[in-house]
Amino acid sequence: MEAMKETVDQSLREMRDTFASGRTRSVKWRKTQLEAIIEMVKDNEDKMSDVLFQDLGKHSTEAFRDELGFVMRSATTALNSLDKWVVPRKSNLPLLFYPATGKVISEPYGTVLVLSSWNFPISLSLDPMIGAISAGNTVLLKASELSPNSSAFLAKTIPSYLDNKAIKVIEGGPDVATILLQHQWDKIFFTGSPRVGKIIMAAAAEHLTPVTLELGGKCPTIVDHHSVSKDMKSIVKRISGGKWGSCSGQACISVDYVLVEQSFASSLIEMLKPVIKSFFGENPKESGCLARIVTKKHFQRLSRLLNDPRVQASIVYGGSMDEEKLYVEPTILLNPPLDSEIMNEEIFGPILPIITLRDIQESIGFIKSKPKPLAIYAFTKDEKFKTRILSETSSGSVTFNDVMIQYMCDALPFGGVGESGMGRYHGKYSFECFSHEKAIMEGSLAMDLEPRYPPWNSFKLTFIRLAFREAYFKLVLLMLGLKK
Amino acid sequence: MTKLLEMNNHTLRFAAGGVYRTTRLNVASLALATSSPFQFSGGGGYCSIPSRLKLTCYATLSAVVKSQESTFDGKEAALLVDELRINFNTGRPKSYEWRISQLQNIAKMIDEKEKCITEALYQDLSKPELEAFLAELSNTKSSCMLAIKELKNWMAPETVKTSVTTFPSSAQIVSEPLGVVLIISAWNFPFLLSVEPVIGAISAGNAVVLKPSEIAPATSSLLAKLFSEYLDETAIRVVQGGVPETTALLDQKWDKIFFTGGARVGRIVMAAAAKHLTPVVLELGGKCPALVDSDVNLQVAARRIITGKWACNNGQACIGVDYVITTKDFAPKLIDALKTELKTFFGENPLKSKDLSRIVNSFHFKRLESMMKENGVANKIVHGGQTMEDKLKISPTILVDVPEGSSMMQEEIFGPLLPVITVSKIEDGFQVIQSRPKPLAAYLFTDNKELQNQFVQNVSAGGMSINETVLHVTLKDLPFGGVGESGIGAYHGKFSYETFSHKKGVLYRSFDGDSDLRYPPYTPEKKRVLKALLSSDIFGAILAFFGFSKES
């Protein structure tokens, strides 16, 4: 660990020197780095698919959709929009301030730390990095030790594509994270669990470092079957895709559980079953299309959730597990007890509880009684219900009639609220996430208004009163001595 | 008096129309009932009210309470938060009507109680009436009017463009209130720094608890009184007190904490917030430099520096000029100009001037005095240096080239002492600024465009004014906030609204055009189409969809 401390010190010093040199502030440097990221992904498509398969058993198409393709798109958007993003924003000043001008310019924070997560080890590492680079920062990335092949790949490949005096990768687990957190950073970007998020923020407080915390939560999916009965075919596909299609439910925006009216529950389950079969065949374990559970520890966590006898009793589909292959079968539960662990922690795995309500309108109260989730999904065509969901619940985002796809929409800020995190990124928001908005007023020394200065008297008070009301005509009268 | 104070320990709790309400007998009303001799204490400082100030507003009399026993503990804080959460959950504060009515009441309060507020500020800081009006009242009022005028626009969802990847869809960004928020304010602009963030929190539809600073006790108790008189008590509350009360408040789970104060307490606030994953805004301070080039209009520059130092609460402002950097050759001229203008502003004997605030209390008075008397500093005084301990007054003081290691150059001065640092050429000033933590504001005086650009590019600070001091803060179009040691987050105008809102991304999708591409089982064809789609290559996607590949 002593050696690691030395490495961290050395890396930080080098990054700070690079930042101080001003190199990373130039738009040209930023663009070169973004281009290099795109090139790196293009050149290493196969290798990246391989490491993702090794770490998580992700199919290469899934890997492309959720990680490689996503990163390329994000880098391309940044590359194409950067000139627009860096332009200072002019602001209007009251006439009284003439001839002063006001503007806001975005300046890089300096040296930032990105701590990423194992479930999307490539995209959750590179996507924040794209934001940090766009904003002109130097970056240190620590990828998760739970996806070791991806972490090693990034540590090995990034230095050969990107400016390695400004962008660095360090590998390691919690002990390395602890060393990193003892240092002062200008911003910390973390993706992971609320438990670790609290530790990160407490460490950041020591140095007054701003943080972005991308956490998770139990994302509910409401199915209002009354208004969408015609579209159930695509709905069950979308739900299945959102539960099992993306890293086997190990995603912070996965469908966590479904809320549906009692009378419709069994039809929903009957419709989900064939979709699972069409996705993964008769034997999902061998299909190659279902990611595996990341580690033994997580496998055991899931089996603990499922082995609660009351939860066992609620299994209506699936339920089989294979510890050696870290495989959990796509599983559906009907009404597991609400006080069970599975209904109180983020599931982060291929298990889908279906909770029934008497009336689907009750789903709002149900969701409000739990911590604010990262996303709420609602399948409904009832406009009134949509408005109710929007105005009465709180969540990072809301998607109507689909799941997870808001992540792909870079015009929308992505981030949580409450337990699901703080701060936001994606698209322009990534740039803003890593920028300080510096307000600047440029005055002139040529003109000066006497009433601004002491000694104070009643004339000056009247003047200032009028000025604040922007009552210019009365001001003129006052100046001419025509107004008392 | 003691007996009456004990009554203060009782709180009444009753429910009215489904809305919980705790009523605290407030000290102000009790003090009003007694006609005790008027004494005033502020955090250890002691001074009597100058006789020429006629007290027409008795609300501020509550300042007689010298040491109030702490009755507000963790239990009570928890009750308060629960109560406000229940009331927030009724959805009332979320409505446009509620927000507007509260904002209008704030505006009304400022109009009607201008005199009381000015007097409270005078008691706490001997703040000159016009300065109080300029820096606190009118600023707050105009923020409030702006919020009233713009609220509808701010609340309107923002429609954004979606991409081909999510086609067909439409998307919006909807702002929603965070919930129950805590605002902890400071003593130097005790009215402005309390009410301005409250305006933001209300505009965004939150329930608010305000904890004003106990170091400005007159304003603190006036705020408590006025808020309960003008604002909806079921969602907007004031908790008065010092460290124990603040600790009790910080132990609770808030949806946002907005803090104005020093960096040391800022760290404590953020660490406490981390326990509940509460986002924070920290408005801190720092040593704000003013770099003065030799080509400037001397008189105007000197006046603006004075405005940013002494006419700004006598240097007790987080955005006030902390020190000046100028060239060796120019320093004498600048200092002469400062002396001349100081005389015009505050007369021959500034200790007697009623246009200068006093030091807030004897703790800060002693701190500043010892800063000035430090070894190697005392002999650097070129102007001023007079003090009057009983009146907590320190005259405008200028020092030249105090040692870098002195506490005056290491700490935020927060008082009427102005060190002038000389450099051989003006560009060297950048290094002086960059070698310190990032300040809340940085000022530059020059007509040299090139130097202006370099300054803007290379100096990091919360905000900047070129050829001006402090004024950038009054512009509602500009975000106000620090960076690094000077803070986290920003507010003012629309930024206040955003600071207290969550920006919720909302995506509306239809059921048309669903393709199996997204779903397993995965095939090479699907990957090809995805590739084209993700790179927004619609033509490629269509080709791939029909089985052609551009690569093949």
Please tell me which residue of chain B has the smallest CA distance to A197. Answer: B277
Does residue A214 have an active-site annotation?
yes
Contact in structure between B226 and B113 (CB atoms under 8 Å): yes
What is the model's pTM?
Answer: 0.90
Specify the range with the lowest mean pLDDT, choosing from A7-21, B15-29, B494-508.
B15-29
pLDDT (average), residues A414-426: 96
Whether the per-residue pLDDT at B117 is higher than 70: the answer is: yes
Closest CA–CA distance from residue B278 to any residue of chain A (Å): 7
Question: Shortest CA distance to A301 belongs to which of A222, A193, A396, A403?
Answer: A193
CA distance B492 to A304: 50
CA distance B183 to B72: 16
Does residue B318 have an active-site annotation?
yes
Render pLDDT for B356-376 as a digit per residue (tens, 0 to 9): 999 999 999 999 999 999 999
Contact of B13 with chain A, judged by CB distance below 8 Å, is answered with no
Which candidate from B138, B165, B465 shows the least CB-CB separation from A408?
B165
The pLDDT of residue A188 is 98
Interface A-B, measured as beta-carbon pairs within 8 A, has a size of 301
DSSP-derived letter for residue B503 is E
Render pLDDT for A241-274 as a digit per residue (tens, 0 to 9): 999 999 999 999 999 999 999 999 999 999 999 9
Helix (H, G, I), strand (E, B) or coil at B273: helix
The pLDDT of residue A98 is 66
Helix (H) or strand (E) segment spanning residue B99 = helix B96-112
Residue type, B293: D
CA distance B274 to A212: 12
Question: Measured between alpha carbons, how far is residue A210 from residues B176, B187, B274, B471 in Å?
Answer: 22, 25, 12, 26
Q: Which of B477, B486, B494 would you mutate first to test chain A, the one with the most A CBs within 10 A?
A: B477
Render pLDDT for B494-545 as a digit per residue (tens, 0 to 9): 999 999 999 999 999 888 766 777 888 888 878 887 777 776 666 666 666 5
pLDDT (average), residues B208-233: 97
Whether the per-residue pLDDT at B56 is higher than 50: the answer is: no
The pLDDT of residue B537 is 64
Render pLDDT for A439-460 as a digit per residue (tens, 0 to 9): 998 888 776 777 778 888 888 7
Residue B475 banded pLDDT, cuts 50, 70, 90? confident
Residue B164 banded pLDDT, cuts 50, 70, 90? low
Whether the per-residue pLDDT at A194 is higher than 50: the answer is: yes
Structure tokens at A5: 């401390």
pLDDT (average), residues A151-165: 97
Higher pLDDT, A453 or A120: A120
Does the beta-carbon distance from A412 to B160 stay under 8 Å? yes
Q: Round the CA-based radius of gyration of chain B to a whole number and report it.
A: 27
List the B207-211 sheet strands across, edge first: B236-238, B207-211, B180-184, B256-260, B280-283, B487-488
Closest CA–CA distance from residue B430 to any residue of chain A (Å): 12
Spatial CB neighbours of B156, under 8 Å, sequence gap ≥ 6: none
Specify the range with the lowest mean pLDDT, choosing from A173-182, B52-61, B383-392.
B52-61
Q: What percent of chain A has pLDDT over 90?
A: 85
Higher pLDDT, B541 or B446: B446
Specify the range with the lowest mean pLDDT, choosing from A88-102, B18-32, B128-142, B525-539.
B18-32
Render pLDDT for A97-117 as a digit per residue (tens, 0 to 9): 666 788 999 999 999 999 999
Whether the per-residue pLDDT at B199 is higher than 70: the answer is: yes
Question: Shortest CA distance to B198 belongs to which of B157, B232, B173, B174?
Answer: B232
CA distance A238 to A63: 18
Whether the per-residue pLDDT at B41 is higher than 90: the answer is: no
Contact in structure between B50 and B38 (CB atoms under 8 Å): no
Residues of B in contact with A455 (CB under 8 A): 344-347, 353, 355
Residues of A in contact with B458 (CB under 8 A): 22
CA dihedral A9, A10, A14, A20 (to 10 degrees): 30
Helix (H, G, I), strand (E, B) or coil at B243: helix
Higher pLDDT, A209 or B52: A209
Phi, psi of A352 (to 5 degrees): -115, 105
Residue B66 banded pLDDT, cuts 50, 70, 90? very low
Q: Round the CA-based radius of gyration of chain A to a whole number and report it.
A: 27
The pLDDT of residue B463 is 94
The pLDDT of residue B165 is 64
pLDDT (average), residues B13-27: 40
Whether the per-residue pLDDT at B1 is higher than 70: the answer is: no
Question: Measured between alpha carbons, how far is residue B236 from residues B80, B88, B202, B231, B423 in Å?
Answer: 11, 10, 9, 7, 51
CA distance B410 to B404: 7
The pLDDT of residue B54 is 36
The pLDDT of residue B325 is 97
The pLDDT of residue A101 is 82
The pLDDT of residue B486 is 96
Neighbouring CB atoms inside 10 A of A20's CB total 14
Mean per-residue pLDDT over chain B, rounded: 85
Whether the per-residue pLDDT at A95 is higher than 90: the answer is: no
Residue A159 banded pLDDT, cuts 50, 70, 90? very high
Residue B2 banded pLDDT, cuts 50, 70, 90? very low
CA distance B350 to B360: 17
Which candidate from A401, A419, A468 shows the least CB-CB separation from B277?
A419
The pLDDT of residue A462 is 82
CA distance B278 to B249: 13
The pLDDT of residue B513 is 64
Whether the per-residue pLDDT at B552 is higher than 60: the answer is: no
Contact in structure between B392 and B412 (CB atoms under 8 Å): no
Q: What percent of chain B has pLDDT over 90?
A: 72
The pLDDT of residue B204 is 98
The pLDDT of residue B193 is 96
Between strands B501-509 and B236-238, the pairing is unpaired
Render pLDDT for B83-94 as a digit per residue (tens, 0 to 9): 999 999 999 999
Whether the per-residue pLDDT at B264 is higher than 60: the answer is: yes
HSE at residue A96, side-chain half, CA atoms within 13 A, is 22
Structure tokens at A245: 């299609």
The pLDDT of residue A120 is 96
**Can you tell me the ipTM of this complex?**
0.93
Closest CA–CA distance from residue A309 to any residue of chain B (Å): 32
Structure tokens at A178: 């602890």
Which candidate from A202, A419, A437 shows the least CB-CB separation from B274?
A202
Residue type, B257: I
Whether the per-residue pLDDT at B103 is higher than 80: the answer is: yes
The pLDDT of residue B303 is 93
